Structure 1
Amino acid sequence: MDSLLSGELIAWLGTHTRWLGLAIFLIALTESLAVAGLVIPGVLLLFAATALAGGGDLSLFGALAWAFSGAVCGDLLSFSLGRWFHQDIRRLGIFARHPQWIDRGEGFFRRYGIYSIVLGRFIGPIRPIIPMIAGMFDMPIWRFLLVNILSALAWAPVYVLPGYVAGSAVRWPVPEFFWHQAAILGGGLALLGLVLLLLLRAQERWSSLAAAGLCLLAMLCLPLATPWLSVVYGSLGEWLASVDYPRLSALRLWLQPLTGEALLWLLYLPALGLLAVLRQGWQFLFLLIGAALCLALGLLPGSHATLLALELTLILNVIMLVNRHQSFWLRLSWGLYALPACALLITAWLVLPLPLPVILGSVFQLACAALLAIWLVERGGPLPALPRPWSVLLPAWPLVAGLLLLQGL
């Protein structure tokens, strides 16, 4: 069955590319559908289909839109199934033979509540089960629909971009050693991310300091690694500088407001003003320390886009302020809240074009500043989370501020 789906189906799509959009929709729907998502290799199929799309005529926006729509519809169908059958769904043949599937999903839902819909979308074994469990527990439809849409907005790029970029890369005229160096860079970043995750997962008093030190080391080593990555850096820089597609030129013009100081002031002044009005002294101090550390780190080699780093530092620090009372994995999932704003900012600086090492240096700079700030503040005691509704509204402000600037307001 797997070989049929991942072999003959992909071969057929390779010769019938006009059906790629619909195929991505159906694969994403199946991947999120109860029962079907457990037995069909949806991730493999989606990677193959999006790779074909990247090498064909389907635009990236089109691939993202089809995948997003399929994921939303698949979760809605699973939710409706649970809402219709409730506990009687345990009597269905496949669930009667595998009751542990529902038991595992039910335990996850009881533990994380509404957050389980966001977390579950990225965890393979329970991804198609959680929406059905939400329906069985009679979650209000409007609440499920809102979380379903927001989580699908984060899920679609994560699952579509790797395949689409891989498919597009086949057509790139790259020099020798490009892919070798790209693999080294990607593997190094993945290893760094894994080590940071393990350090923070330990949840010791020294965890944030150790993670900050690792980010600082990565930032300082970045210029030293440039000669060994010159081909991949140079090729990407030349490609961004030479590409003169009308769409890219329009994108550069549209994103230009996000690369000025106006966004920096629009981010910091309302956030600091709100914390001052709410008399959240420790939170106010945390943002100031994070900004000061970011400025100080900007004097070191390996980071030359401090404006970008400051903007990203505020976004990350606000996210850290609103989730201090949550468990580790829930705190980590709050990062999904910041993904749209961070992606918009980094894209704006990339299309200037700004060299990739500078972007990476800014990311290491912001991570080091934020982790050092949280370690310094929490040495005297746990940092309390912001009260509701500000813990939900404040993290959305960076995206709102960016969109206001893009609209010329």
Structure 2
Amino acid sequence: MSQWYDQVTAWLSANPEWLGLAIFLIALVECLAIAGIVVPGVALLFAVGVMAGSGALELWETLLLAYAGGLVGDMISYGLGRRFHQNIRRLPLLRDHPEWINSAENYFQRYGVASLLVGRYIGPLRPMLPMVAGMLDMPFPRFIAVSMLAAAGWAVAYLVPGWATGAALRLPLPEGFWAEAGVVLLTLVVMFGLIIHSTLREKRWANPMAAGFCLAALGALLIGWPHLQALDQGLMTLVQEQRHAGLDRFMVLVTRLGDFQTQLLAGALLGGLLLLLRQWRAACFTVATLVATALANTGLKHLFARARPEVLTEPLTTFSFPSGHSSAAFAFFLVLGILAGRGQPGRLRLTWLLLACLPALAIALSRVYLGVHWPSDILAGALLAGGIASAGLALMQRAAPLTAMGARVWVLLLPAVLALLGGVATWALPDALARYSY
């Protein structure tokens, strides 16, 4: 398999004109029933992402091709399941490995529509769940709606790291960039690796440990950010290279989701609905986490008084470190992810947190794209929110576990919160576009 992988990557390196088609096909196969388990699609996606980022394709082209390929793979898998139903178990590979389809079927029957969102990030389940959805006669309109949403987050999570690596290798970056990037990346990998390991092992001290690691990393960043200037400037150069007028409007809309007024209204609505639905402990956890994060961020921002990047035509007057948009967004969406994962096994709790982090990460990255925050600003904001959310959860569960909320609560909660976020974000979009011009 490794020899075949080397041959594919070597051929694409020598024939970059086929790279776009390769990204589409690799994404399709990675999401295709049975084939997605056999083919090392994740490694291939990273490799073609590096090639694309080296100058062959722009980021939006790379993501669009991967998104389309993943969506087509989902539809083919769904069609196979819908066409053959239970007879699909007679296929040679599935006959030899019945556990592949059995585990996917059990997962789908247990979590329903949510399994298509969450299972997208669980390797063995990703290519099998769409086929199982078709096999169990899930309505196609519902399936395609969920699949379109899941494929978008999947394309970002699996292609952006490779593309960014390729772009970083291509650009002339400040001296010391790679050393600083290596230290930061190694720290985050070790920290999250230990947190994930303890969560999967269902350790009682997983939440206190997560809080301790996040706040310790934040403390190191608060002390060491003056020594990360090469990393900040290099990443800012990399992101600013992707700016164009067509993407500006979308990024301003995304960044509006993290504005103070938007997050204040969304947090108040979330807390109020939880109280109205008599979810007392969930409401207490939500309000305490959001308020503590906002107060801590404000205090740290005025304490360090770091100047913003000089990108905007009219620079903002407030300080940039840590990023208020990043801390508020991560706090809000982490709260949702934590509440969604209550009462579920460790792997599923981690997957809900991953899904919750995707919109928060988009808001945080929009700040770097618009040139109003350094990368270390948004990292500090994310660590602050993660530390406070983990600490709040650990304190909340000292007396008793935070129980899962019923489906009726989520049916009322999510549409109201998402509608508010979307409405407030688009309300003053023209003024925001002028504010973030460069």
TM-score class, shorter-chain normalisation, is 0.7 to 0.9
Deviates more, 1:208-217 or 1:384-393: 384-393
- Of 331, 334, 337, the match for 2:352: 334
**CA apart distance, 1:326:** 2.8
1:344 and 2:355 equivalent?
Answer: no
**CA apart distance, 1:128:** 2.3
In the alignment, is the contact (CA less than 8 A) between 1:337 and 1:395 conserved in 2?
no
**CA apart distance, 1:370:** 1.1
Going from structure 1 to structure 2, the CA distance change for 1:58 and 1:393 (only over 3 Å counts) comes to: farther
Going from structure 1 to structure 2, the CA distance change for 1:280 and 1:44 (only over 3 Å counts) comes to: closer
In the alignment, is the contact (CA less than 8 A) between 2:325 and 2:364 conserved in 1?
no
1:362 and 2:381 equivalent?
Answer: yes
User: Where do residues 30-109 of structure 1 align in structure 2 (5 Å cutoff)?
Assistant: 30-109=29-108
d(CA) in 2 for partners of 1:132, 1:244: 39
Amino acid at match of 2:386: A
TM-score, normalization: structure 2?
A: 0.81
d(CA) in 2 for partners of 1:252, 1:31: 29
Amino acid at match of 2:179: H
Deviates more, 1:203-212 or 1:297-306: 297-306
In the alignment, is the contact (CA less than 8 A) between 2:211 and 2:386 conserved in 1?
yes
Going from structure 1 to structure 2, the CA distance change for 1:259 and 1:142 (only over 3 Å counts) comes to: closer
1:170 and 2:169 equivalent?
Answer: yes
State the secondary structure of the residue aligned to 1:320: helix
1:383 and 2:402 equivalent?
Answer: yes
State the secondary structure of the residue aligned to 2:124: helix
Going from structure 1 to structure 2, the CA distance change for 1:276 and 1:106 (only over 3 Å counts) comes to: closer
Deviates more, 1:55-64 or 1:302-311: 302-311
d(CA) in 2 for partners of 1:15, 1:397: 51
State the secondary structure of the residue aligned to 1:290: helix
Equivalent in the alignment of 1:294: 293
State the secondary structure of the residue aligned to 2:70: helix
In the alignment, is the contact (CA less than 8 A) between 1:34 and 1:129 conserved in 2?
yes
TM-score, normalization: structure 1?
A: 0.86
In the alignment, is the contact (CA less than 8 A) between 1:315 and 1:398 conserved in 2?
no
Equivalent in the alignment of 2:317: none
State the secondary structure of the residue aligned to 1:324: coil
1:310 and 2:328 equivalent?
Answer: yes
What RMSD in Å do the two structures reach over aligned CA positions? 3.2
d(CA) in 1 for partners of 2:150, 2:402: 27
**CA apart distance, 1:253:** 5.4
User: Where do residues 134-145 of structure 1 align in structure 2 (5 Å cutoff)?
Assistant: 134-145=133-144
d(CA) in 1 for partners of 2:218, 2:373: 17
Equivalent in the alignment of 2:269: 270
State the secondary structure of the residue aligned to 1:56: helix
In the alignment, is the contact (CA less than 8 A) between 1:315 and 1:395 conserved in 2?
no
d(CA) in 1 for partners of 2:201, 2:28: 36
**CA apart distance, 1:393:** 5.2
After superposition, what is the alpha-carbon deviation per residue over 1:81-134, rounded to whole angstroms, capped at 9, x for unaligned? 122222322333333344443344445445555444334332333432332233
**CA apart distance, 1:240:** 6.0
After superposition, what is the alpha-carbon deviation per residue over 1:321-352, rounded to whole angstroms, capped at 9, x for unaligned? 34423333223222354244313320232233
d(CA) in 2 for partners of 1:23, 1:377: 48
**Sequence identity of aligned pairs in percent?**
34
**CA apart distance, 1:399:** 5.0
Could you list the runs of 5+ residues in structure 1 that have no partner in the other structure? none
Equivalent in the alignment of 2:311: none
